Structure 1
Amino acid sequence: MYYYLLPLGCQMNLSDAERIRTVLEEAGYTSCQKEEEADLIGLVACSVRQKAIDKVYSKIHKWNQWKEHRPLITFASGCILPEDHRKLLGRFDLIFSIQDLPQLPQMLRQYGVTTALNGTFPALRDEPPPPSETGLDSYWKVPPTYSSSFEAYVPIQNGCDKFCTFCAVPYTRGREVSRPSGEILREIETLLDRGYRTITLLGQNVNSYGLDRHSREITFPELLDRIGALTRGHPLWVYFTSPHPRDMKEDVLEKIAAYPTLAKQIHLPLQSGDDTVLTRMNRNYQLRDYRSVTDSIGRILPGATLFTDIIVGFTGETEEQFLNTCAAMEEFRFNMAYIAQYSPRPGAVSSRWADDVPQEIKKERLHRLTRILEETSGAFTRSLPGTTQRVLVDGFDRKPGFLSGKTEGRIPVRMTDPGNIEPGSFVTVRITDARPLSVAGEILPSSGIAPGTSEQALAIPQGDILL
């Protein structure tokens, strides 16, 4: 029997999908590339944005029409708000919390589907977990079936305790729970053995890692220290997302500075550049606090790139408040900003407030911020032609004859394809051209470091600028 899995939303959902694949394949299913060919279709949903949940309804409507002509079972998991869960319950055959993933084969058997579960790892079992083990502990024991041979997502935490008024995550994933550090380090060791080139540590608020386990677990800076020591000498970059500005301390930045494998790129969500809006968002910092963190980044990690998230049109946002966000964008000179139009989510505090910024104004503000981003990021990318940069090739560009990749700072690079470079290889690129959010260049001869090659065996040229 064949299955098709569609993950929507953030990197955490992509990571969840990798573990769902493992469970389904252990149960005897085989992955297929087309949903039309599947006997079982799963969707890793996202209630955080209205656009994503709209896609869920569109997909399940189509799949349910297919059921009139052939046997088909559908399921959903992921980030689903209680209200969306109630609405979807009668549309999908199965809806389950991601922490109940190990019981999916049993759910399918109860639905009348025969599975071939072979029980090769402890998390897949019919009996309840031990009393000392939470649902997430059992879920994290499921080894992922990675979707890439060189880029991996490693969850270190689930849930969030911040309760920003616009955010649905505490209501979809619950309160913060940290994954045991021993499991995290063992998964990273496995990835190193397999020659992975990038690892991204995932959590809704990685800074608070370990705090929910008190004296039983290490802190986030200590986790970075152990990962830096473990990965020393390997050709890879380790990233993390997302930190909260209120909790971002210099000890984290100092650990990044201490280890070459900890990437010099920081994703620090700002959300708004206006103090009044930040207060209404319950972000628990003001612009001066954010500025203090970015000053520390510039001092401790000179040359590091800075990414952010921005919401435009938050309920009650005035033109003056939006202009403060524009000023903040110009001040912090982000290399990338993920800008979203505000949409109220059921259950979040702000859903009880009037969504009083018209859609056309939200769209116009998004375009204005995008233009500022192109100016600030463009000033940086235009400084790069003539330099050499270390780049990880991640695939083939849409334009024939070119490869795509990213620098350590996650600046996209288009490169001429010499015909002998595999995705997952590190190369040295001479930058020849720049656009506002990306650069282009030529791969220098004999610069490829293929997957599975150790850094000790090769001298890796370093860029003129650390990105």
Structure 2
Amino acid sequence: MLDQNTKVHDESRQGEAFSPAANHSNTYSKKFYIESYGCAMNFNDSEIVASILNDEGFGATRNLEEASLILVNTCSIREKAEQTVRKRLTEFKSAKKANPGLLVGILGCMAERLKGKLLDEEKLVDLVVGPDAYRSLPALIAEANGGQKSVNVLLSREETYGDISPVRLDNNGVTSFVSIMRGCNNMCTFCVVPFTRGRERSRDAYSIVREAQELFDNGYREVTLLGQNVDSYYWTSDSGDETVTFAQLLEKVALLHPLLRVRFSTSHPKDITDEVLHVMAKYENICNYIHLPVQSGSTRILQLMNRTYTREWYMKKVERIREILPDCGLSTDIITGFCTETEEDHQDTMDMMRFVRYDLAYMYFYSERPGTLAARRYQDDIPEDVKKRRLAEVVELHRQNSLAGMQREVGRTFKVLVEGTSKRSADELFGRNDQNKVIVFPKENYQKGDYVMVKVESCTSGTLRGVAVK
């Protein structure tokens, strides 16, 4: 999925829960509180939901006690993510005892997958809304206020929310996501997304460009074009006389302004084309960074996962990327302990990591998800202690690779987009370079949103440290 600063998890790419910014909530008579878990797409969906609720007279609040509506935007990608959400819903159920008028709703992937159980059996929520049904939220809230069971988890082949301007929640005012498509047509056997988010559909190219322009006009300096598989983006106008590929969309956004940085996530290895790579090479403001999930280094396991490429094919794709974009940063997803994985398969993954030397990685051990093709076809037969041991080996190798990669950057100078003040010191700023590596440097007179040339003087395995140079 879709990454910011890489985090390593034993099981789940779990985003932190967040509460929304105030959004002038004092001007609204009703208040809502929202938490989001999981991938960047979920956080972006919460911004769409916030926009819909604003139009219905609901203002966002950080104060749980003043909310009349609590929403949890959920993730089903790993078991741990669902356990975290279920625990949180139990806490909210207790809060309802002190406030009988409080409504609790569940949004997103987990809502679609566990609708009946959460609403009827466990009675943890009052309304359940799937990823394609957010427009129905006002009607569902009215139903729930009337004491009815309120559910809409219908999947759509058309819904893209392209006409809705998201309300930016908990943002830094510098970077933001722009959703370009929804759903996924890749039936990877381990993945629940095609069943919870539906089939792939691309958003109107002009609405994407318009949203990116609005963000730039409002002071943002970086957008990440977001989709389950951005490289398969393909939009056709209603008249049928115009089509836009992902490479063409990428160029349209890059041309908005040289000071608008453009990133994208996520790419499926089988779909990223030379055309995309050449567009990246052509425009300085398109970042040289690609998230290219490998999942496993074993061809046999890749076939069981239905990834549609072999080990050798993926390695040639990496070589092609580096041929066209020599300085391109690469990140990945890796699953250890998938069904029937042998020690030889595991060593193939370790060898792949040595070959690519990923800059960033999301690493997990396999967690069987009900309803996936793998759950139906294969036995989850690798003991958990073996999964965890293999994961630990993958994590340690990645740490070594990452440190070596960071050390190679010492002495180099990078253009850094300042995203804010360092968490460790108010006298330092942090930002990211083209390759998505975090760089910390003394504040001096620079501010959030500035582009600064920074010379790297030292590093850890996760952060570069440097000084600004003229």
TM class by shorter-chain length? 0.7 to 0.9
Q: Does 1:104 align with 2:128?
A: no
Counterpart of 1:351 in structure 2 is 375
Q: Does 1:205 align with 2:238?
A: no
Shift of 1:34: 3.4
CA distance in 2 between partners of 1:242 and 1:390 (Å) = 23
Counterpart of 1:268 in structure 2 is 292
CA distance in 2 between partners of 1:264 and 1:226 (Å) = 17
Which moves more between the two structures, 409-418 or 420-429? 420-429
Amino acid at match of 1:40: L
The answer to whether the Cα contact below 8 Å between 1:374 and 1:436 also exists between their aligned partners in 2 is yes
CA distance in 2 between partners of 1:54 and 1:96 (Å) = 19
Counterpart of 1:222 in structure 2 is 248
Q: Does 1:192 align with 2:216?
A: yes
CA distance in 2 between partners of 1:320 and 1:162 (Å) = 27
Q: Deviations over 1:357-394 (max 9, x none)?
A: 22222222222111111222222211222222211222
2:387 pairs, out of 349, 362, 386, with: 362
The answer to whether the Cα contact below 8 Å between 1:21 and 1:145 also exists between their aligned partners in 2 is yes
Identity %: 34
Shift of the 81–30 alpha-carbon distance from structure 1 to 2, 3 Å rule, reads closer
Counterpart of 1:328 in structure 2 is 352
The answer to whether the Cα contact below 8 Å between 2:236 and 2:244 also exists between their aligned partners in 1 is no
Q: Which secondary structure does the structure 1 equivalent of 2:105 belong to?
A: strand
2:105 pairs, out of 60, 75, 78, with: 75
1:299 pairs, out of 296, 305, 323, with: 323
Shift of the 402–292 alpha-carbon distance from structure 1 to 2, 3 Å rule, reads same
Counterpart of 1:408 in structure 2 is 434
The answer to whether the Cα contact below 8 Å between 1:205 and 1:242 also exists between their aligned partners in 2 is yes
1:62 pairs, out of 91, 95, 110, with: 91
Amino acid at match of 1:136: E
CA distance in 1 between partners of 2:111 and 2:275 (Å) = 35
Counterpart of 1:124 in structure 2 is none
Amino acid at match of 1:262: I
Shift of 1:41: 0.6
Amino acid at match of 1:68: K
Amino acid at match of 1:331: F
Shift of 1:268: 0.5
CA distance in 2 between partners of 1:355 and 1:238 (Å) = 40
Counterpart of 1:128 in structure 2 is none
Root-mean-square deviation over aligned CA pairs: 1.9
Amino acid at match of 2:290: I
Counterpart of 1:94 in structure 2 is 127
1:289 pairs, out of 297, 304, 313, with: 313
Amino acid at match of 1:268: L
CA distance in 2 between partners of 1:442 and 1:243 (Å) = 33
Q: Which secondary structure does the structure 1 equivalent of 2:256 belong to?
A: helix
Shift of the 134–286 alpha-carbon distance from structure 1 to 2, 3 Å rule, reads closer
CA distance in 1 between partners of 2:34 and 2:50 (Å) = 8
Shift of 1:314: 0.9
CA distance in 1 between partners of 2:80 and 2:145 (Å) = 34
CA distance in 1 between partners of 2:315 and 2:230 (Å) = 20
CA distance in 1 between partners of 2:145 and 2:158 (Å) = 24
Q: Which segments of 5 or more consecutive residues in structure 1 lack a partner in the other structure?
A: 114-132, 448-467
Counterpart of 1:433 in structure 2 is 458
Counterpart of 1:136 in structure 2 is 159
The answer to whether the Cα contact below 8 Å between 2:410 and 2:459 also exists between their aligned partners in 1 is yes
CA distance in 2 between partners of 1:403 and 1:58 (Å) = 36
The answer to whether the Cα contact below 8 Å between 1:270 and 1:308 also exists between their aligned partners in 2 is yes
Amino acid at match of 2:227: G
Q: Which secondary structure does the structure 2 equivalent of 1:230 belong to?
A: coil
CA distance in 1 between partners of 2:362 and 2:129 (Å) = 30
The answer to whether the Cα contact below 8 Å between 1:335 and 1:437 also exists between their aligned partners in 2 is no
Q: Does 1:245 align with 2:269?
A: yes
Shift of 1:216: 5.3
Within 5 Å, give how 1:367-382 maps onto structure 2.
367-382=392-407
Q: Deviations over 1:280-317 (max 9, x none)?
A: 00000001111111111111111111111111111111
1:254 pairs, out of 278, 285, 290, with: 278
Q: Which secondary structure does the structure 1 equivalent of 2:176 belong to?
A: strand
Shift of 1:38: 2.1
Shift of the 157–356 alpha-carbon distance from structure 1 to 2, 3 Å rule, reads same
Amino acid at match of 1:240: F
Shift of the 212–314 alpha-carbon distance from structure 1 to 2, 3 Å rule, reads farther
Shift of 1:82: 4.7
Which moves more between the two structures, 149-158 or 370-379? 370-379
Q: Does 1:183 align with 2:207?
A: yes
Amino acid at match of 1:315: C
Counterpart of 1:424 in structure 2 is 449
Q: Which secondary structure does the structure 2 equivalent of 1:246 belong to?
A: coil
Shift of 1:151: 1.0
TM-score by length of 1: 0.86
Amino acid at match of 1:221: A
Amino acid at match of 1:220: F
CA distance in 2 between partners of 1:370 and 1:317 (Å) = 17
Shift of 1:405: 1.7
Q: Which secondary structure does the structure 2 equivalent of 1:222 belong to?
A: helix
The answer to whether the Cα contact below 8 Å between 1:166 and 1:345 also exists between their aligned partners in 2 is yes
Counterpart of 1:464 in structure 2 is none
CA distance in 1 between partners of 2:199 and 2:415 (Å) = 39
Amino acid at match of 1:141: D
Amino acid at match of 2:274: E
CA distance in 2 between partners of 1:81 and 1:293 (Å) = 37
Shift of 1:402: 2.7
Shift of 1:212: 8.2
Q: Which segments of 5 or more consecutive residues in structure 2 lack a partner in the other structure?
A: 1-29, 147-155
Counterpart of 1:463 in structure 2 is none
CA distance in 2 between partners of 1:206 and 1:215 (Å) = 22
Which moves more between the two structures, 423-432 or 40-49? 423-432
The answer to whether the Cα contact below 8 Å between 1:176 and 1:212 also exists between their aligned partners in 2 is no
